[in-house]
Chains A and B, each alone.
Chain A
Amino acid sequence: MLDVRGLNCPMPVLAVQREVKANKPETLEVLADHMTAVQNITRFGNSQGYHVEYRENDDGDFVITLSK
C-alpha cells in the first residue's frame, strides 16, 4: 500500500502518478490522511482510466483503491 500520509500537495498525487507510470498496476491501494489528497488522487485516477473508491479506516485515515 502506498503511504502518502503527512505529505502536502501535490506529493500524494505525484506518488500515485510515479507508481502508475512505473508499474501500470491493475489495482493500487493508497493510504492518505486528508480529503484534498483523496480528491486529487481520484481526479488523477479517473483521468488515467481507473475506477476510484475510498473508505475511512479505524484511525481516521483514508484507504483509496484505484482499479482498472
Chain B
Amino acid sequence: MENNQKGFAGFLKRHWLVILTGLVIGAAAVVLTALGNPKNMGFCIACFERDIAGSLKFHTTGVVQYFRPEIVGIVLGAMIISMIKKEWRPQGGSSPITRFFIGMFVMIGGLVFLGCPLRMVIRIGGGDLNALVGLLGFIVGIVIGTFPLRFGFSLNRAYKQSKAEGLILPSVLVVLFILSLIPELFAKSTEGPGSQHAPWITAILIAIVVGALCQRSRLCMAGGIRDAVMFKDFHLIYGFIAIIVAVLIGNLFTHGLKFSFADQPIAHTDGLFNFLGMVLVGWGSVLLGGCPLRQLVLAGEGNSDSALTVLGFIAGAAVSHNFGLASSAKGIGAGPVIWVLIAGFVFLLVLSIFNTKRRA
C-alpha cells in the first residue's frame, strides 16, 4: 500500500479520498442550508446533538429542540460501510466513564463557542471571522493535548465486545429517529435554529453518504492538526481545507459571502470565550482520540467507548442549556461559564497527569 509517487498526481493518489470527503461535507452543508438548515450550520455535530437533547426534553430551551436526522445518518453510514468493508468491530472498555465526562466538557466548550470543529470550519467558509478566533483556540487546545500524549498518556486499551454492544447505539438512534417522525411525541422548536431544518429524508440520506465517506477516509478535525503537530503528517488537514473551499464556493453561489465578526448567523463576538471554548474542545478531542464527528463514526464502527462519548456530548448539551452555559447570538450564557470552563481545564489536566505513564 506504499505510494511514493511524486508530484501532483502522487499527491492526489495519496489524499484524494480525504479531499473528496471534505468537498462532499462542504457541499452537503451548503445544500442542507439551502434546504432549510440554519445558516453556517449545515452540518454541526455539537449543535445537532444539542437539538436532539432538546427534542428528548433533556433540556427545555425552546429554540433548539429537534431530532436531527443527520446524527443518525452519520452513524448509520459509518456502520453500513464498515460492515461491507469488514471493518465493523465491536470494541470497548477503554476508560468509558472518563470518556463520558470528557465528552461532556467538549460539548460544553463547543456550545460556548457555538459549534463543533466541523461547524467552526463551516463558519470560516461562511466568512465568520469569530470562527478564526475559535480555530486559534482549537489549535492551542490540540497542542496542549499533544504534551501528555508525548509523555505516554493513554486511556488504556479497548477489547473486543459482543455484537450487541456495538449495535446498541445505532439501533437506539434508529428507533428514536422513527419515533421522532410521530407528531408531537418529541419536543420540536417552532422558532429559532431548531425550527430550521431540511426535509428529514434528504437530511438522513446525505448524512449516510457523509458518514460512509468519513469512515473510509478517517476524516477528523482534531486528528488533522494533531498529526500535523506530532508527525508532520498533513493528510487529514487536506480534508479540513477541502471543507472550507467547498463551503466558500457554495456560499458564493447561494446566499453570498460576508466576512465580518458582527452579525454572523448563530454566532457571538466574544473573542475570549470563543477562544477558551475551543481550547477545551481541542484539548478534550485529542485526549479522546478524535473530534465529535469522528466519535460518531467510530460509534458506527461498533466502538462502544465512542458511543458512550456521544452520550456524554448529549448530556453535556443538556447541562449547558439547563445551567446557562450555552451561548446564543446575544453572547455567552448567563450561568457560571468561566468557572465551568476552568473546571473543564482542571479536569483535563488531572486526567492528563493520572493517565500518563512516564516513559524512559
* Interface mask (A8-26 → B, CB under 8 Å = 1, otherwise 0): 1111011001100000000
Out of B89, B230, B232, name the residue touching A10 (CB < 8 Å): B230
Q: B112: shortest Cβ distance to chain A, in Å?
A: 26
Tell me whether A42 and B87 are in contact (CB under 8 A): no
CA distance A6 to B92 in the complex (A): 8
Instruction: Let me know if B290 and A8 touch, CB within 8 A.
Output: yes
State in angstroms the CA–CA spacing of A5 and B159 once bound together: 8
- CB of A27 within 8 A of chain B? no
Q: Closest chain A residue to B222 by CB distance?
A: A9
Once the chains bind, are A35 and B233 in contact (CB under 8 Å)? Answer: no
Q: Which among A8, A44, A54 is the interface contact of B233 at CB below 8 angstroms?
A: A44
Contact of A29 with B by CB under 8 A: no
Count how many chain A residues have C-beta atoms less than 8 Å from C-beta atoms of the other chain. Answer: 27
Whether A18 contacts B231 by the Cβ 8 Å rule is no
Give the shortest distance, in Å, between B83 (CB) and chain A (any CB): 14
Decide: A10 and B218 in contact? CB cutoff 8 A: no
Q: How far is the CA of A17 from the CA of B91 in the complex (A)?
A: 25
User: Given A35-B87, A36-B218, A52-B2, A17–B231 Cβ distance below 8 Å?
Assistant: yes
| Option from A6, A10, A18, A47 in Cβ contact (under 8 Å) with B226 | A10
> Is B330's CB within 8 Å of the partner chain A?
no
B157 touches A (CB below 8 Å)? yes
Are A43's CB and B233's CB within 8 A?
yes
Cα A64 to Cα B290 with chains together (Å): 23
A contact residues around B149 at 8 Å (CB): 10-11, 14
| Cβ–Cβ < 8 Å partners of A52 in chain B | 1-2
Q: For B230, list chain A residues within 8 Å (CB).
A: 10, 14
Chain B residues near A35: list those with CB within 8 A. 87
* Contact between chains at B2 and A46 (CB < 8 Å): yes
A65, chain B: closest CB distance, angstroms? 12
Residues of B within 8 A of A40 (CB): 227, 233
Contact status A44-B231, CB under 8 Å: yes
Q: How far is the CA of A51 from the CA of B2 in the complex (A)?
A: 7
Q: Which residues from A are CB-within-8-Å of B233?
A: 40, 43-44, 47
Q: Is the CB of B235 within 8 A of A46?
A: no
Question: A6 near B157 (CB under 8 angstroms)?
Answer: yes
Chain B residues, CB < 8 A from A47:
231-233
Decide if B223 is an interface residue (CB 8 Å cutoff): yes
List 16 other contacts, CB 8 Å, given A46-B2, A51-B2. A5-B157, A6-B158, A8-B94, A8-B288, A8-B289, A9-B223, A10-B223, A10-B226, A10-B231, A11-B149, A14-B149, A42-B1, A46-B3, A46-B4, A47-B232, A47-B233
**Chain A residues near B (Cβ < 8 Å):** 5-11, 13-14, 17-18, 33-36, 39-40, 42-44, 46-47, 51-54, 60
13 A-B pairs whose Cβ atoms sit less than 8 Å apart in the complex: A5-B157, A7-B158, A8-B290, A9-B289, A17-B231, A33-B89, A34-B87, A42-B2, A46-B4, A47-B233, A51-B2, A52-B2, A60-B89
